[in-house]
Structure 1
Amino acid sequence: MLSYEKFEEVYQESVRTVFAHWTAEMQGELAAHCHSWGPGLFDFQNYLRVSGIRFYKAYRAFAREDERQRVCDVGGFWGVFPLTLKKLGYEVAMTEALQYYGESFQGLFKCIADEGVEIFDYDPFEPDARLPEKFDVVTVLAVLEHYPHSLKNFMTNVRALLRPDGVLYIEVPNIAYWPKRVALLRGQTPHAQAAEIFLSDVPFIGHHHEFTIKELRDLARLSGLSILKEDFYNYTPGALPGLRMLLRSPFQFLAFSFLKDARECMTVLCRIESV
């Protein structure tokens, strides 16, 4: 299993590969349905650069020393994680509902496929969506919060992607993140701003529903999954290091230290529940 430093080296190479195909037209296409993703408002390249820790945690959750599993990243989007896993020797597929992407994304998807990542045109939110194979590992990172309706179809579909001994890794943002708790006490919403939604075309593709850990556990239980492990962490760029945070924001430091469910992101690793 790779150290974080070794993984990060490969991961940043994948970020550079992806952004060789990045255009302002692509960002404009995304921003039409999520205003805050617009040029000058959101830096996708920096977002991916600092996300290495997120993907390393996913890798650590399922990696085995003695084998390279077949992995499917559902909602792979930029393809950075699938590309990284491919460089590490895994058999990798990713899914995207390609009907939602215009011509500006074709160069990126071709690059990902040329690197050896199999891309399935697949919408997991549709009833009875299936793929022709099953996987040892299925990952769902930063996807569920973008969907406004019932997750029953989605969970049924991704569960069907698992081999009998396969595992499902889910990452979501934590609505009980400490800064959001404090902001709510000050009268600020923890949800997407109404102005942001107003300025976005329909359908809005920003965050519709962020989760508490209880909700994530309920989602697994209702889907017939057993949770093998949970994780809670912060990753946002610009976060203060430990000592400076203690001096400048002592309550936040204590919250992050002693309340794991006050951290920014949450993950669960699941398997199909034994009958």
Structure 2
Amino acid sequence: MKKRAITRALAAMCALVCTVALAGCGADEEGKIRIGIKFDQPGLGFKKSGTYVGFDVDVAKYIARELGYSEDEIIWKEAPSAQREAMLQNGDVDMILATYSITDSRKEVVDFAGPYFVAGQDLLVRADETEIDGPEDLNGKRLCSVTGSTSAVTVKEQFADEVQLMEQPGYAECATALFSGIVDAVTTDDIILAGLASAARGQLKVVGQPFTQEYYGVGIKKGERELAARINDAIEKMIEDGSWQRAIENNTEGTDYSPDPDYNPPVPTEGEE
């Protein structure tokens, strides 16, 4: 705890003096911090009438504030999944919070702080669905996932090899197919599905039987261990003061979703020695 107190004091001091403490992040304007998020994921990272909303956005704002930045000192950058590593390596952003799962292969080229959330792959179905209670009920059913996603592969390999798969370019398109009855279920991380369900205003629901674990981290440039420690301190504080839970509830409002209590809230230790 002494080490954490020291790093917090250093963070506050450096934020007051200049942006040198984040020199490794490569802020392109003095007093600004650039954060990568998704722009198209309801409930997580969503661009709405020139503003940005979602759980990832709320976590990012909290971290930025603990690092000494106000909301108007945040420059939001869209961080598509395939471009996240390059954006960090090239110094386009200082950090990324975009449903960014911590994996060994990614850690070869970037570092992470966190995790700040542990998602689990789940299913989204229509609100009146009674036959699908988990992935084992998908044999003979029509399932939608995003092109190139490993989610549908997991279902076919582990649970239902007779599932009929439809691939779409995004989960919004999958949700539309579910609305219209073209498919019976959509699969990806549970909190992404909860965001879609919230946007659907009670017409869709998350089954609530997660069957994988995805540890969402804050992506940072390789070697930024001091920054990782400071971000971890901020995540810990967000969990302790109740802001983390409120962010979950606000961004999944209208659904019965709750994070898997076996894994949430997580202990943020990634990136520290």
Q: Same fold (TM over 0.5)?
A: no
Q: Which has the higher contact order (CA 8 A, sep 6+)?
A: 2
Using structure 2 for the length normalisation, give the TM-score.
Answer: 0.32
**Structure with the bigger percentage of helix:** 1
